[in-house]
Amino acid sequence: MTHHDDETPTRREATGRTLRAIGKIALGAALVGAGTAHLTSKREEFQAQVPEWMPLDPDDVVVWSGYAEIALGAATLLTWRQPSRATMGRVGALFFLAVFPGNVAQWLERKDGFGLDTDEKRLARLAFQPALMAWALYAGDSRRQKRLARD
């Protein structure tokens, strides 16, 4: 990114930073909220996403993934400096990748949950998972950090 001679960020850079900060806060809050829902009001609906082939108790999977989601959300909210912010963006993207089989299982096993009561709705949810991964990477400014590490 190009700066003016006095190292003042350009309007585009400042806008990008602001959008990433808003995205990072929103993502962290959403993760904490979803993780809390794992442990409380939406516990049974999250169990619908645990694949039948999973050799673990579905409630244990939901509880432990809820703890993980709360921790990830809190870490996302608390890491502002690079390279930690980029690391959290990558961890967030990997988390969304790790839970993807549960979403696929919900679609294949035709399990209802979160208003996903048709094959079309469950399939549409699968398409949203890459957007969550991209959101995590963008909020962490992972691409910029990778470029800076190379230089």
Residue (of 69, 57, 37, 49) closest to 113 by Cα position:
49
Across the range 101-111, mean pLDDT stands at 88
Q: What is the pTM of this model?
A: 0.83
Please report, for the chain, how many H helices and E strands are present, in that order.
7, 0
Express as a percent the part of the chain with pLDDT over 70.
Answer: 89
> What tokens does 92 get?
């967030």
Scanning the structure block, which residue is given the tokens 């619908």?
Answer: 48
Across the range 50-77, mean pLDDT stands at 93
**Ramachandran assignment for 118, one of left (phi > 0), alpha (psi -120 to 50 degrees), beta (any other):** beta
Using pLDDT thresholds of 50, 70 and 90, give the confidence band for residue 31. very high
pLDDT digits (tens, 9 = 90+) for 64-81: 999 999 999 999 999 988
What is the pLDDT at residue 147? 61
